[in-house]
A and B are shown apart, each in its own frame.
Chain A
Amino acid sequence: MTFLRRLASRLVQTAAVVLVVTFVTYWMLSLLPSDPCFLSVGTGATEELLAECRERLELDRGLFAQYGAWLGNMVTGDLGESYRNGIQVTESLADKLPVTAWLILYTTVLSVIVSIPLGMLSAVRRDSWVDRLITGGAFSLLALPSFVLGVVLALVFAAKLGWFDLGGYVGPTEGLLAHWKSLVLPVVTLTAGIMPFFLRLLRSDVITTLQEDYVEAARAKGLPRRWILLRHVLRPSSFTVVTVAGLNAAQLVNGALVVEIIYDLDGMGTYLISAVFNQDFLVVQTLVALIAAGFVAINMLVDAMYPLLDPRVRVRNQ
């Protein structure tokens, strides 16, 4: 019951935040001296065409009315169309969202795969040279923002060694191998950006768990070490992994924006940036709203689910 109430209040809060964010961004973009009709009508504009366009877009209505209409459309799934080229945003998203989604999925999977053994090793051999090497390495990665690491990886593995090309994204339907090959460097770049968070938390998590009574008990029972690590240590820590994955969504979106530019991937990041350079503000507005909503929703979910996932926290809360 408390959980449901908590969830409900969280939902209301989240909705409020999304509402305010979208309104503020809408309002700010509407202050810009740019006329969507110029974009829409383009180089062939005449006074009449512009007037007609303004009428069609109902630009003379008040801010609230315009925002309301926009929000209504968004909620019903009509994301509008680009003023610039008339292409439906939903249509573009269908092309571009998968690119970013694959990028984020692979990155999360790779981060987990890499950080679990390293984190465990680091924790078990706490303060040894292995631990220092791993934590030190992870710490250095934090000093490599994606636009530095991405460019350097492109330099070494694409330009110099020629192992990968920078020819952009290949869809999974065009051959899995080519698909993976086109995403290796971007995913590695992104992973380097978030893996340290996973690693760090896993390490301290495992260290704490190792000191728990039930681990001691298992050890006393003479259970094999590997079994203890898997059954009693890693399983509770998986909650941490889920949480960190959620909390690092923002980091991933930041990174994806940059990585897509470096590796010429036609995903959400490139879409947003080209909309910015095109002054295609409806697309900017829509994308920012979607990102904010998705991001806030993930945070809410992680927050709400956390006590549910980890029995120990649930127990303590009672």
Chain B
Amino acid sequence: MPGRRSLAALRGQGPVETGGSRLRLAEQPLGFWLAAVWLAALTFFVLLAPVLGFVADPEAYSRNVLQGVGWSHWFGTDELGRDMFARVVWGGRLSLMIAAISVAVGILIGGLMGLLAGFFGGWVDTLLSAVINILLSLPALILALFIVTVLEQNTRNVTIAVTILAARAVARIVRAQTLRFRQREFVTAARCMGARTSRLIFREVLPNLLPIIVAFTFLGLGLVIVGEGGLSFIGKSVPAPAITWGGILAVAKGKLSAAPHLTIYPAIVMFCTLMAVNYIGDTLMRRFDVRQSLI
């Protein structure tokens, strides 16, 4: 074990000790299972919201305004008498859909960029690294805000904006990891045996990257949920009347003292979700012994 981490390690470019350490589910601590159950339940509600009878129409207004928590309205109602539980579920539907798509696409694009840059080095690396560095030159929220400002404000473009957030993070990590593997014995050996480049990349390097990509999937979800949430809190995510988590909180902010339940329950749901993805991601990272400071 190196006595001292390098700067690279602080940024998530540290040494990886893969090899034998596999993830054994049975050995996971309780927290891991709690997190998994929360995510499963959330996915269930969010995916099935339209067919679950007890999830109300999130847009239906009524004269029962600002009702507290109760049997008929689990999270109470808002200023228009709309069911807050339904709004949180449907807000999650949009926010999580955007998050899922952007993490998937972000890993694809960012992973490819990092892989190519790290594997080929030379001018490919110079070029791709420049692109990555440029994307990294702005704080996440500012970058996303800028992209949404320049493009039209709609679901697709918000997804594009947060995809870039995910992609730039993946690209950086994958490049660093690839750089390490490129010099490993097994890659050198394969190269000496005359393996083609594509084989080297996809059969030798990529499988070794998979653990970190899996771990990033969760941490990346956290990253983009916060990114999209920040955008919609500012009012620059998918425009109303579409429901997003950040948007729910932004509107509730105006009613803090009169109706705290409008803030509390969405905040708890968001907290649990972020906690769950962070926890799982972090556990996986540690399992794979990836030194990182990603989140």
Contacts and interface: CB of A to CB of B under 8 A. Distances in A.
B137 A147 contact: no
Interface in B126-182: 130, 133-134, 137-142, 145-146, 149-150
B260 to A, nearest CB: 5
B246 A253 contact: no
A160 B260 contact: yes
A139 B282 contact: yes
B4 interface: yes
Given A159-B257, A291-B138, A208 B7 contact: no
Interface string A279-318: 0000010001001100110000001001000001100100
B146 A151 contact: no
If over half of B's interface residues share one DSSP class (helix, strand or loop), that class is named, otherwise mixed; here it is: helix
A291 B226 CA distance: 20
A147 B249 contact: yes
A27 B284 CA distance: 41
B274 to A, nearest CB: 4
A216 interface: no
B270 interface: yes
- Which size bracket describes the interface of A in this complex? 35 or more
B236 A32 contact: no
If over half of A's interface residues share one DSSP class (helix, strand or loop), that class is named, otherwise mixed; here it is: helix
Contact of B11 (A20, A145, A152, A247): A247
Nearest to A303: B7
B201 interface: no
Contacts of A249: 139
B32 interface: no
Contacts of A24: 134
B253 interface: yes
Contact of A257 (B6, B11, B230, B272): B230
B23 interface: no
Interface in B208-235: 222, 226, 229-230, 233-235
Contacts of A151: 249, 252-253, 256, 263, 267
B278 interface: yes
B249 A258 contact: no
- Which size bracket describes the interface of B in this complex? 35 or more
Contact of B278 (A17, A32, A142, A303): A142
A148 B257 CA distance: 16
A291 B142 contact: yes
A287 B282 CA distance: 35
Contacts of B233: 147, 258, 261
Contacts of A250: 138-140
Given A18-B137, A201-B293, A295-B138, A144 B271 contact: yes
A135 to B, nearest CB: 11
A141 to B, nearest CB: 10
Interface string A212-254: 1000000000000000000000000000100110010111011
A20 B134 contact: yes
Contacts of B149: 276, 284
A25 B146 contact: yes
B10 A201 contact: yes
Contacts of A17: 130, 133-134, 137
B4 A296 contact: no
Nearest to A29: B150
Interface in B236-273: 236, 246, 249-250, 252-253, 256-257, 260, 263-264, 267, 270-272
A140 interface: yes
B229 A257 contact: no
A254 B230 contact: yes
Contacts of A276: 145, 149, 236
Interface string A120-163: 00000000000000000001101111111001101100111000
B75 interface: no
Q: Please list the 5 inter-chain residue pairs (A to B) with the smallest Cβ-Cβ separation, ordered nearest first.
A: A159-B257, A143-B274, A143-B275, A250-B139, A147-B233
Interface of B: 3-7, 10-11, 130, 133-134, 137-142, 145-146, 149-150, 222, 226, 229-230, 233-236, 246, 249-250, 252-253, 256-257, 260, 263-264, 267, 270-272, 274-275, 278-279, 282, 293, 295
19 contacts: A13-B133, A20-B130, A25-B146, A143-B222, A145-B229, A145-B274, A146-B230, A147-B229, A147-B230, A148-B271, A155-B256, A155-B264, A160-B257, A273-B145, A277-B235, A288-B142, A291-B142, A313-B6, A313-B7
